[in-house]
Amino acid sequence: MSSRSIEETLPHRPPFLFITESVAADSDQAKAIWRIDGREGFFAGHFPGNPIVPGVLVTEALAQTAGLIVGCRCSGSERSPQGFLAKVDLKFPTPAKPPCHLVLTASCTHEFGALYRFDVRASVSDATIAAGELVLSVPAADVADPDVAPGRSGATPR
């Protein structure tokens, strides 16, 4: 999947689009890469002199990888491809230090209406830096409308 296809699938844009390459994505699993060169702005304040990739950004990159699967599943449907994190259960056994390439994988294990559960893993050189489970909530397409209040199913203005 090209960077253009990633931007067609996900609602994120730089500087908050962390996936730099999608290796594979279908309606069940996805594999993506986040290339980190160490010049990213967040390193200026995240442990200067001993930078590590913030776990919250690794979590977001994994959610974006899961979003590629949701995008494949929602293509042509009434659902918006814009999901929201409903649950995060991740372990971070070792930190990632720049420069590095994070390999991000997600596998959809269950779908319950608007909720999608994923097993996810982030690794650097085959060493796991994060692994666990994410749940995304993917509302009906009209809820993703910025003029509609979150959690409402109709076109109720904010």
Q: Catalytic residues, which ones?
A: 46
DSSP the chain: --HHHHHHH-S--TTS----EEEEE-SSEEEEEEEE-S--GGGGTSSTTS----HHHHHHHHHHHHHHHHHHHHTTSSB-S--EEEEEEEE--S---SSEEEEEEEEEEEEETTEEEEEEEEEETTEEEEEEEEEEE--BGGGGSTTB-TT-SS--B-
